[in-house]
Amino acid sequence: MHFAALAPLAGAAGAFWPTLLGASGEALLRPLLVQLIVIILAARLGAVVARRLGQPSVVGEIVAGLLLGPSALGAVAPAFSAFVFGGAGTGAALEASLTSFSQIGLILLLFLIGLEFDFSHIRRQSGLAAAISLAGIAAPFALGFGLAIAMLPRFEALGAPAAVDPWSFSLFMGTAMSITAIPILGRILIEMGMQHTPIGATVIAAAACDDAVGWTLLAAVSAIAVGQFEPLAVIRMLGATAGFAGLCFFVIRPVLLPLLERAVGNAAQPHTQPHAQPGRPQLSLGMLSLLLAALLCAALATSLIGIFAIFGAFLLGASLSGAPRVREAIAGHLADFVTVFFLPIFFTYTGLRTNVGALASPEAWLWCGAVLAVAVLGKWGGCGLAARLAGMPAGEASCVGVLMNTRALMELIVVNIGMDLGVIPPVVYCMLVLMAIGTTLMATPLAVRMLRGSPYEPLLVERGFLR
């Protein structure tokens, strides 16, 4: 996120900060508190509007974060935008604070996502899920790679720096097109009441396979980008990552998971958990502290390896998956706060880095349309065709493709990694963010349309999606 881009907007509005906040030891804290208030309230409002429109809450939160950036608030109300996000001399410190908050939030979120990773879905639906997932990785990757190759000669015309490494950019574009947002898929299926149906199980299993391969690809591409195609450096990073994954699954899991299972109890313990809810699995504060320390150590380990802290968080979470009571206890402590506090900060962090004004020419908008078209064709077309060839009815196969086309939060994580690595320029970053939002917005209404006349229609009528 580059707050310098907001500097021209600051003007007289920025001068309000010293007057309003005064010179004190909390001069940096108070502007940050104002930012957090705006971010959290905007996210909740976005979530409410999204639910009224039949979209998952997270879609509204993502859009709210985008609207707080220079694309909307900065353009429509520059004085207010500068007042909240400019900070009159505190911009660098505020940028560092929001960046740190967003990164800690992603570490916690990826840990929770890993914890929810259900390998049993893959085992139960292995054949069909593998076919759909393979098509949903191979087709988007190939199309995204080809689109990147076609886009490279036009970088100068798009205002993108020519210093971007072409191989890293092309590999990253292919990987970005291959991602599916399994957390959002789960929420969509639950809201449609289809999480336990055959099509729901198939989609979740395919998305689980997709995520496993996609995150592996992302780790590999990140290692290649950081290693600058130095074979020994890349091999060291991949080897260290594989070694850390083995440590999580074969050393940490056998030691930590039994400790967590023994620590989880149904009854509240007033002397250690004064605010615990009776009847709900709980962890003692001591065990929660140990778990958080292990999580931060895992994040630090992969950060030192060179492939981003969130990979360590995801690997630790996945290594501890498969224990429902432990998962429920940990989620009870962390999930709501991550959702309400940390995620809106990340979405705003993304929004502040996204400037639709970067798409300053008809050609740029044509390339943006091409990014969306390639994403939809690769994922919807690839997964839908694979499901159809596997014997699913046409409508259900198309529905599988539409749902697998959901990018949402996971795509935003991926494109932020690409931005931080310097392998995608701001104009392409903007295109990919718009693609993530577009593919997520189309998922629910198109899936409902595809299932009209299918055996799932009565369920959708009962849930209010069809009349």
Say if residues 276 and 268 touch (Cβ distance below 8 Å).
Answer: yes
- Predicted structure pTM score: 0.80
| Helix 91-116 vs helix 324-337: crossing angle, to nearest 10 | 160
**What is the average per-residue pLDDT within 98-118?**
85
Across the range 255-278, mean pLDDT stands at: 68
Q: How much is the pLDDT for 265?
A: 65
Q: How far apart are CA 75 and CA 294, in angstroms?
A: 43
Burial state string for 282-309 with b = 16 or more CB within 10 A and e = fewer than 16:
bbbeebbebbeebbbebbebbbebbbbb
pLDDT over 80 (residue 22):
no
Q: Are the C-beta atoms of residues 311 and 221 closer than 8 Å to each other?
A: no
Amino acid residing at 369: G
**How long is the chain?**
467
Question: Residue 334 and residue 105: Cα distance in Å, rounded?
Answer: 10
Under a CB-based contact definition with an 8 Å cutoff, are residues 314 and 110 in contact?
yes
| Rounded (to 5) percent helix, strand, coil in the chain | 80, 0, 20
Q: At 342, list the tokens.
A: 């940390």
Among positive and negative, which fits the CA dihedral 226, 359, 379, 442? positive
If pLDDT is split at 50, 70 and 90, which confidence band does 238 have?
Answer: confident
Which residues lie below 8 Å from residue 3, measured CB to CB, with a gap of 6+?
85, 86, 87, 91, 92, 94, 95, 352
Task: Assess whether pLDDT exceeds 70 at residue 126.
Answer: no
> 3-class SS at 282?
strand
Tell me the average pLDDT of the chain: 83
b or e along 422-445 (b: 16 or more beta carbons within 10 Å of the residue's beta carbon)? ebbbbbbbbbbbbbbbbbbbbbbe
Residue 203: the pLDDT is 86
The arithmetic mean of pLDDT across residues 237-264, rounded, is: 91
104, pLDDT greater than 80: yes
Phi, psi for residue 265 in degrees, rounded to 5: -140, 150
* pLDDT tens string 397-426: 999 999 999 987 888 888 988 888 888 888
Q: What percent of the chain has pLDDT over 70?
A: 87
Residue 20 is predicted with a pLDDT of 45
Q: What is the pLDDT of residue 12?
A: 41
pLDDT at residue 229, as a whole number: 60
Spatial contact of 90 and 28, defined as CB atoms under 8 Å apart: yes
**Nearest 5°: CA angle at 340, between 29 and 417?**
80
Share of the chain above pLDDT 90, in %: 34
More confident residue, 91 or 376: 376
Cβ burial of 365 (10 Å; 0-12, 13-18, 19+) is: middle
Give the mean model confidence (pLDDT) for residues 135-162: 90
Q: Please name each of the domains of the chain with its CATH number.
A: 100-462 (1.20.1530.20)
Q: Which amino acid is at 13?
A: A
Instruction: Report, as an integer, the average pLDDT of 168-189.
Output: 85
pLDDT band at 25 (very low <50, low <70, confident <90, very high): low
Q: What pLDDT was estimated at residue 115?
A: 86
Quick check: 172 pLDDT over 50? yes
Q: What are the pLDDT digits (tens) for 360-402?
A: 889 999 999 999 999 999 999 999 999 999 888 998 999 999 9
Residue 444 in this model has a pLDDT that exceeds 50 = yes
Whether the CA torsion 121, 123, 124, 129 is positive or negative: it is: positive
Lowest-confidence pick of 38-42, 158-162, 291-295? 158-162
- Name the residue among 273, 255, 133, 292 with its Cα closest to residue 206: 133
- Residue 38 has which token pair? 């705006």
